[in-house]
Structure 1
Amino acid sequence: QVLGTARPSWLQGSGIYDVGSVTSLYVRANQRATINGQLGLEANSTKYIQDSTNYYLARGHLTARSDNFYTAQQNATFYMQNIAPQWQTFNGWNWNQIEIDLRDYASENGVDLQVWTGVYGVTTLPHEDSGEPTELYLYYVNETRKAIPVPQVYWKVAYNPLTQRGIALIGVNNPYNSTFSKLCFDVSSRLSWLHCERENQILGFCYACSITTLRYAVNFIPAMDVRGLLL
């Protein structure tokens, strides 16, 4: 891997977003006002989007910069089509650990893994007045004009095409949610190489499933012939 290159600026591209500047949506004061408006809170309330903590929405990479070898490949991960809103409590800890664990597995076992990353669902927080779960969007004007949903979960599918073994890794993107339903049967206890803090709500609950069982919930995962778990 080429190391030591400068971290590039984020690139929005053209013809993708009809929301003005995506960068401005991620500014903490702006995202606070947007999220609070959806939840019936005062615009400057720090109940969820806080100052001087990691309780805010970061630009969460789908394909990680560190997963790529050449500088041009690394820089390409900074196009905003490759990101989704991710709580920094999760971004900097368990999701980062999942990325590290997959790279370490490939390196230590001398294998080339095929990896797909995506998101699923829209995370919710309770409305201040009604208590009803309210889906969160980084861009919100009204119910008919909203964009850039905050994902409920992030997932990675890793597959060894030589052995036809694979694994699905899932992380919950909501530090305020103490309960959640797993999308598939959890086999994370069988993975000695997975080191995320699986039961840590703030850092992001994480678990692992067979690719087949996750596909029952996330039906747009690419088709592949899977013959076992990536142990």
Structure 2
Amino acid sequence: MESHLKFPRDPAALSTVSAILKEVRVSDVPPPRLAMKPPLLPLVIFSDFELDDLMAIAELWQWRAVHMGAPEDARPIIVFITDFKTKDGGEVFEKKLLMARMLLGVTLQDIYTLVCPPGTGNVNWTYFDKKVHPAAPQLYRRKDEILAAAAQDIVDVALSDSNEVVDVYFISPGRGLFGELLQGIERDHPKGWEALCQKANVVMYTGSFNTQGCTLRKEAAPGPFDYDYIGPLEALVTLLTIGKLGEEQ
């Protein structure tokens, strides 16, 4: 049977969305919010902000807040792993931010957005249109600042007096950025890293796209390596498995 379900696009709405996307694109990338932050939930989510991820984050956020009886303004620690090479070029990055604003009520200052290094000829920032997204170099310039702020939030949750488990969700490819953030925690906050390893409940979506996008140790490759740092957190672990954990092309 042929489907006739249709959602007509309103020209006025399209114009409004286009204006928003343009504004987001030309705006400077702000630093992470370091002051006047809301209370943190013991919930850390690594995501590439695909629409299904954003819906999952909203549900996990609500579930954890209700479970804890947390304050209304309590928020999870959300790390956005960007891929300007194959997924987030053009206006995709802006569309993801717009959907995150609508579904989660967050802006770039409320999340931690990490980008891969540029590589030779900006290879990691060049989309199918052969253009470098303007956010990529801005995010890279702020990368150390973003990593430090995200690490501090995770450590604060891990070292809290609460006996609550810290749920850590890996629902996107790591691109080496998982490892870089967790490596920084181990190096700069050893007590926080130890506490996180003891408290963490790891949930990893191990579809082939995600596992192939996480880095494995190779003799000829520089670190950090995602799986070297995900592994120690797996004292308590749930694998949402589609494909084999650790497989890589």
Question: Which TM-score bucket, shorter chain as reference?
Answer: 0.3 to 0.5
Q: What TM-score, normalized to structure 2?
A: 0.31
Give the TM-score of the pair, scaled to structure 1.
Answer: 0.32
